[in-house]
Amino acid sequence: MEEKKFRFKEGSFLELLNYKDLLYQLVARDIKLKYRRSFLGYVWSILNPLLIMIIMSIVFTLLFNKKTEYFPVYLMCGRTVFEFIKTATTKSMDAITGNASLLKKTYVSKFMFPMSKITASMVDFVFSLGAMVVLMAALSLIDGVFLFSWKNIGIVIVIIEAYIFSMGLGFFLAALDVFFRDIKYIYNAILTMWLYMSAIFYNIGLFYDRAAKQKKLGETQTAYILAKFIDYCNPAYIYIKQFRAFVWSPVISDVPFWQVMAPKDFILGFGYAFLMFFIGVAVFRKTQDKFILYI
């Protein structure tokens, strides 16, 4: 006979721990259903980012005159990280409204639903790194140099940062979606803007070049302000930058390991992650009792 133990307070974030087996079940279900349904399964899921990478690499190498070395790797780093934040947050946005029938009939920690979506996306993100491996292996073969480095392990830090950040944003959006269903469309527009502001297919150096030109002409250096803004205030870019420091930078130059990651990015990265996390959890906790009246 087992006693149901409820060690953590009802409605708190830590209450999730009372249901950790359920979290595992829900995440496993999402992953299983995703790969069970498609014909090629896992191969398909890494084929898709590879194809997109090839198309974008061709387009953007033709478009920009300033060349970025190993552009496919550069691009892939940005896309993988951004794609994770995007899928995790959009999926968790539907988590409460999509499980309305369940929430009306049983009591479960409400944090469970966004949390399981975000965690499933995180696992998916780790799986999708296979595409990165394929790409780098192919480039290693073509160029005859071994592009992998032990510094690549550092991406674990980025995954943790992005995971915490996505949780915060995901909880916030999940709560908001209950009260305002059209927030989805607004968030979609925001995501597009965010994508262009995250220096995924261009190099942020472009802005500094432009600023230098503006300076020469005596104009206000708007490009400089924009570049600084992206550099300091866009968490997605901070994660992408760190990811590149661990994967792309070792490919193009042999930086000593203590210079791999800028401490500024590390502090800002975790700072934004925890800030977003606490905002998200606080909003979710405050509003969760009213969910049932709106779903």
- Residue 90, CA distances (Å) to 71, 80, 150, 187, 205 in order: 28, 15, 33, 8, 30
6 binds another protein, rule: CB under 8 A: yes
Taking the C-alpha atoms of residue 194 and residue 202, their distance in angstroms, rounded to an integer, is 14
- Smallest separation (angstroms) from another protein to the CB of 181: 5
107 binds another protein, rule: CB under 8 A: yes
139 binds another protein, rule: CB under 8 A: no
- Residue 74, CA distances (Å) to 244, 255, 272 in order: 7, 16, 23
Q: Exposed/middle/buried for 262, CB within 10 Å: 0-12, 13-18, 19+?
A: middle
Strands (E), the chain: none
- Smallest separation (angstroms) from another protein to the CB of 194: 19
22 binds another protein, rule: CB under 8 A: yes
Chain Cα centroid distance, residue 37: 24
Q: Where does this chain touch another protein (CB under 8 A) — which range of 79-87, 96-104, 219-227, 244-252?
A: 96-104
186 binds another protein, rule: CB under 8 A: yes
Q: Where does this chain touch another protein (CB under 8 A) — which range of 95-103, 187-195, 239-247, 274-282?
A: 95-103
252 binds another protein, rule: CB under 8 A: no
Taking the C-alpha atoms of residue 17 and residue 36, their distance in angstroms, rounded to an integer, is 28
Choice between 37 and 67, CB closer to another protein: 37
Binding stretches for another protein (CB under 8 A): 1-4, 6, 10, 18-19, 21-22, 24-26, 29, 33, 101-108, 179-183, 186, 289, 292-294
